[in-house]
């Protein structure tokens, strides 16, 4: 009995696809408290990450080892616009509207792709973020 040459190739491709896929939870392991937003990334983000909420830059506490989520705390109930960007990663969705009404937080799975936007030299430093009173953002493992 002789195997067709395509069969071993399909087996190898399916094994590589299965081992290369990483599972990202579509729902949080515990409920997100009111006033909080969790951006769950599909890959490890090395940063720096910039976040704007309601046209105000929020200072993001960076992690030197990388992070799998961005936790935003202290937002008032209601609707807020956000914009998420980085010099080394691209995000989807990178902008949108968050609805914090109803006494629940928001859990948002964010597709992440690594890229280097600055090809030559070092990027220009950004001015310090103004921030909103009582709002904190942290990259977390």
Q: What is the pLDDT of residues 117-132, one digit of tens each?
A: 556 667 677 778 888 8
pLDDT confidence of residue 128: 81
* Tokens 């995000």 -> residue: 91
* Look-up of token digits 């937003």: 37
Mean pLDDT of the chain: 84
pTM of the model: 0.78
Q: Inform me whether the pLDDT recorded for 7 exceeds 50.
A: yes
Q: Cα–Cα distance between 94 and 116 in angstroms, integer?
A: 17
**Residue 102 in this model has a pLDDT that exceeds 70:** yes
Query: How high is the pLDDT of residue 130?
Result: 85
């Amino acid at each position: 009995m002789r195997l067709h040459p395509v069969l071993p190739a399909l087996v190898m491709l399916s094994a590589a696809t299965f081992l290369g896929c990483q599972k990202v939870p579509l729902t949080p392991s515990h409920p997100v408290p009111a006033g909080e937003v969790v951006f769950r990334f599909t890959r490890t983000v090395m940063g720096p990450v910039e976040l704007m909420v309601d046209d105000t830059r929020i200072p993001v506490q960076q992690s030197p080892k990388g992070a799998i989520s961005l936790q935003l705390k202290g937002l008032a109930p209601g609707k807020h616009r956000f914009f998420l960007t980085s010099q080394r990663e691209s995000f989807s969705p990178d902008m949108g509207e968050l609805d914090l009404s109803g006494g629940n937080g928001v859990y948002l799975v964010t597709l992440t792709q690594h890229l280097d936007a600055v090809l030559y030299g070092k990027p220009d430093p950004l001015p310090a973020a103004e921030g909103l009173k009582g709002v904190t953002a942290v990259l977390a493992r």
